[in-house]
Amino acid sequence: MGPNGSGKSTLLNVLSGDLWPHSGSVEIAGRPLAAWDASDLAMRRAVLPQNSHVAFPITVGDLVAIGRLPYRHGRPGSERAAVAWALEAVGLGSFSHRSYHRLSGGERQRVQFARVLAQIWSPDGAGNDRVLLLDEPTNNLDPAQRLGIMRLVRQLADQGIAVVVVLHDLSEALRFADSGLLLHCGKVVAQGVITDVLSPAHIASAFEVEVGILTDQQGLRHVAVVDQRRAG
Predicted pLDDT of residue 10: 92
Output the CA–CA distances (angstroms, integers) from residue 122 to 43, 79, 158, in the order listed: 10, 10, 15
Q: What is the pLDDT of residue 140?
A: 83
What gap in Å lies between CA 9 and CA 37, rounded to an integer? 24
Strands 27-28 and 31-32 come out as: antiparallel
Helix 76-89 crosses helix 105-119 at what angle (to 10 degrees)? 140
Measure the CA–CA gap between 181 and 197, rounded to whole angstroms.
7
Residue 132 CA to residue 186 CA, distance in Å, equals: 22
**CA distances (Å), 226 to each of 52, 203, 204, 206, in order?**
35, 12, 11, 15
Distance, CA of 154 to CA of 140 (rounded, Å): 20
Instruction: Give me the domains of the chain, ranges plus CATH numbers.
Output: 37-167 (3.40.50.300)
pLDDT tens sequence across 190-208: 999 999 999 999 999 999 9
Maximal CA-CA distance, the chain: 64
β-strand partners of 56: none
Angle at 44 between CA 43 and CA 48, to 5 degrees: 90
- The pLDDT score that the predictor gives to residue 176 is 96
Cα gap 62→84, rounded to integer Å: 11
> Around 97, how many Cα atoms within 13 Å sit in the side-chain half-sphere?
0
Alpha helices in 29-142 (DSSP H): 38-44, 60-65, 76-89, 105-119
**Residue 155 pLDDT:** 94
Q: Which residues in the chain land under pLDDT 70?
A: 73-77, 124-128, 229-232
- Dihedral in degrees, nearest 10, Cα atoms 51, 52, 55, 58: -140
Predicted local confidence at residue 47, as pLDDT: 95
Distance CA 9, CA 6 (A): 9
| Residue 64, helix vs strand vs coil | helix
